[in-house]
Amino acid sequence: MAHVNSRTLAAAGVFVLSVSAFAMGSRPAGDEEAISKRIAPVSRVEMAAATGAAAAGSRSGEQIYKAVCGACHEAGVANAPKLGDKAAWAPRIALGLDGLMKSAIAGKNAMPPRGASDANDAELARAIVYMANKSGASFKEPAAKK
């Protein structure tokens, strides 16, 4: 007589039950939930409206500077004049706010138009006033248009 151990019998029983369940078109109870847990994503990304952030059009010059301009003007990337460098800003300040606005809107040297920001004209002017004033100018922000 052949010797059969209990593990072999148990494995054969599980196999037969599993095959029978699939052959009858169903799965063992609770299997769906276990499968879902095993294949669930590790993380999930949800897009939501920003809260606490300034609405477009109402951002300050400092906010625009910190969010966009500072990436180049802090370190002088591609010869961008560093914030506070009066010597580098002097010839730019001499152009006046209107001249700086024209350069910023069109782009200048390595700087893309509007500094690659989504700033509207008022926000861009605020950012220029902020940077220029930190670098020796005494510009006033343009009055809001009504």
How many CB atoms are located within 10 Å of the residue 142 CB?
A: 14
Domains: count for the chain: 1
Phi, psi (degrees; rounded to nearest 5) at 55: -70, 145
| Least confident window among 56-60, 102-106, 112-116, 129-133 | 56-60
| 29 located within any domain | no
Question: Which residues form the domain of 107?
Answer: 61-134
| 48 located within any domain | no
Q: Which of 130, 5, 17, 19 is nearest to 67 (CA)?
A: 130
Is 86:135 a contact under the CB 8 Å cutoff?
yes
Whole-number pLDDT of residue 40:
78
Q: Whole-prediction pTM value?
A: 0.62
CA distance 16 to 9: 10
| 108 located within any domain | yes
Is 104:124 a contact under the CB 8 Å cutoff?
yes
| Least confident window among 23-32, 86-95, 99-108 | 23-32
- pLDDT one-digit tens code per residue, 38-94: 887 776 666 655 544 556 678 999 999 999 999 999 999 999 999 999 999 999 999
CATH of the domain at 115: 1.10.760.10
| 73 located within any domain | yes
| 47 located within any domain | no
